[in-house]
Amino acid sequence: MKTPFLRNAIALAALAATGCLNADLKTSQICASSSSGQVPGTPPGVNSIELPTSLDLSNSLPDLSKKGISGTVLMQQVTLSTTDGDLSGIETVSATVNGSGSSSGLPPVTLTCNYQKPAGESGPLTSIAVPCSDGNLFDYLQEQQTLTLQVTLNGTLPSSAWTPDIGACFSAEIVVDYTQL
């Protein structure tokens, strides 16, 4: 099954064959998610937990490591959801992407995404959307298409075991120079 991004890339490659040597691919949203595995219930008095997760973007983005490809990949939001826990006691969520694991010596790419529970919000909650800053992840994703997120939850955490699903959505603009491929 071809993703819309891949279909666009194939169509633009066909245009390149007709004499167009550059292609500009834009997508408004690419999303990936991962389950962090079951988290044990949190005892009273523990108000913070860190959930590391990895997101594989290789099925959503073309191979960015090829010569002649440049662009921007911006994280728009991180989502935290669960089907077996109540997130309504969570007051703040922060998510950080750190590119310090890159092998070429690129400086760390640290993006911060923050959520503050709205005043007066009550009732069971199974999903939280966390808006993010617009740092460019392109150079980091050129080296590896797996993104490592560190999600920190603060507040009254679920007291029984629960399974968090963590996702992130990105926008991308990729420029392909077919003379360099």
Q: Go through the chain and tell me how many residues it has.
A: 181
Residue-level pLDDT, tens digit, the chain, 181 residues:
456 666 666 665 655 555 556 767 777 788 999 987 899 999 989 999 999 888 888 888 877 888 888 889 999 999 999 999 899 999 999 888 876 555 556 666 677 888 988 888 888 889 999 999 867 888 888 888 888 888 999 999 999 999 999 999 998 888 888 777 6
CATH at residue 35 = 2.60.120
- Per the domain annotation, does 59 fall within a domain? yes
The answer to whether position 18 is within a domain reads no
In a domain, 13, yes or no: no
Query: Does the residue 154 lie in any domain?
Result: yes
Tell me whether residue 83 is in a domain. yes
In a domain, 11, yes or no: no
Q: What are the angstrom distances between the C-alpha of 128 and each of 86, 103, 105, 141?
A: 11, 33, 34, 25
Question: Number of structural domains, the chain?
Answer: 1
Q: How far is the C-alpha of 77 from the C-alpha of 68, rounded, in Å? A: 28
Q: Which of 26, 76, 56 is nearest to 176 (CA)?
A: 26
Neighbours of 154 (CB within 10 A): 16
Range of the domain at 127: 27-174
Whole-prediction pTM value? 0.77
Query: Does residue 34 lie within any of the structural domains?
Result: yes
Strands 127-131, 111-116: pairing kind: unpaired
In a domain, 112, yes or no: yes
